[in-house]
Amino acid sequence: MKHIPVLLNAVMRELGDLNGRHVLDATFGAGGYTRAFLDAGASVVAFDRDPNVIADANAIAHDFGSRFRFIAKPFSAMADLDEKFDAIVFDLGISSMQIDIAERGFSFRADAPLDMRMSGDGLSAADLIEQSSVAELTQILRDFGDVKKANVLARAIIQAKPKTTFELRDLIYNPHDVAPVFQALRIAVNDELGEVKRALMAVPQMLNPNGKCLVVTFHSIEDRLIKNILRNLTTVPGNPLIPVAAKTQYELIHAVTPDDTELKNNPRARSAHMRGFKKSY
């Protein structure tokens, strides 16, 4: 299935005129957001740790030359950049490309090695299971998958030590838990929430005045994290119930979800939310 950038129209509307602007695409993927920003006249720096996207990045570099720069690193490495941006955009989660390549082990719909590594480096999901205690795996399933009876399931997984996606899938007695278990392991293997936290800590100092940061999320755990980070950034310290004063540096951008047309054209957008903030000065 071709990857369709989710909430792209909403992102473009929120960012406004990008001609001559400097944009950071934190999650390059197949390059859908990046290409839209470049088509609108921006210069773009893009991050992605997935080596499978380099061909797409090279194609865009061929089309747009010096206005595009690709950095093959996790987006938390943006903190090392010594430059400012007018917009920083995150499209979190997993892409259709990653799901649809069976051998990468992200999906339970095809039998493959239990891998799930976005970068191809470090521990695979099978390695993580092999090295985890029941308590550690229980915490992963609870924190990153909201899995019910996580302790019982973690014990069964640790005992069986599955090596393939089907071996793991067949251990999960409740069909409703299959997707959350795969999600939890993927998040843990790739330290996805840690990556988000580290990157967003760097964003405020990287934005120009009137610059915006937009984040597209795809599941409730991710979305809760983003809401909490944005709430802490855009409310009066010590009292999150008090709205930000006009003189406060950061202004919340309210959430947007896909409209009916987008949901019809791209069912994978159904759980998406776009949130963000604007830096006033």
- Residue 6 one-letter amino acid: V
The model's pLDDT over 199-241, given as tens digits with 9 standing for 90+, comes to 999 999 999 999 999 999 999 999 999 999 998 888 766 555 5
Domain count, the chain: 2
Q: Count other C-beta atoms under 10 Å from residue 233's C-beta.
A: 20
Q: Let me know whether 198 and 185 are in one domain.
A: no
Q: Under a CB-based contact definition with an 8 Å cutoff, are residues 89 and 97 in contact?
A: no
Parent domain of 29: 8-97+193-279
The reported pLDDT for the residue numbered 241 is 52
Residue 209 sits in a domain whose CATH number is 3.40.50.150
* Per-residue model confidence (pLDDT) at position 154: 98
1 domain residue, yes or no: no
CATH of residue 122: 1.10.150.170
Domain boundary among 190, 219, 246: 190
Assigned domain for 123 exists = yes
Same domain for 166 and 186, yes or no, is: yes
Q: Which residues of 2-22 are buried (b: 16+ CB within 10 A; e: fewer)?
A: ebebbbbebbbebbeebeebb
Give domain status of residue 3, yes or no: no
Which pair of structure tokens corresponds to residue 188?
A: 């843990």
- Residues of the chain predicted below pLDDT 50: 1, 244, 246-247
Tell me: do 85 and 12 sit in the same domain: yes
Please state whether 107 falls in left (phi above 0), alpha (psi between -120 and 50) or beta.
beta
pTM tops 0.75, yes or no: yes
For residue 23, which phi and psi values (nearest 5 degrees)? -125, 140
Domain-embedded: residue 230 = yes
Position 80 scores a pLDDT of 95
In a domain, 12, yes or no: yes
Domain boundary among 140, 170, 190: 190
Amino acid (1-letter code) at residue 131: Q
**The pLDDT value given to residue 101:** 75
In this structure, what is the dihedral angle of CA atoms 167, 173, 176, 179, given to the nearest 10 degrees? -20
Could you give the 3-state DSSP secondary structure of residue 137? helix
Quote the tokens at residue 5.
Answer: 């950038």
Asked if residue 2 belongs to a domain, the reply is no
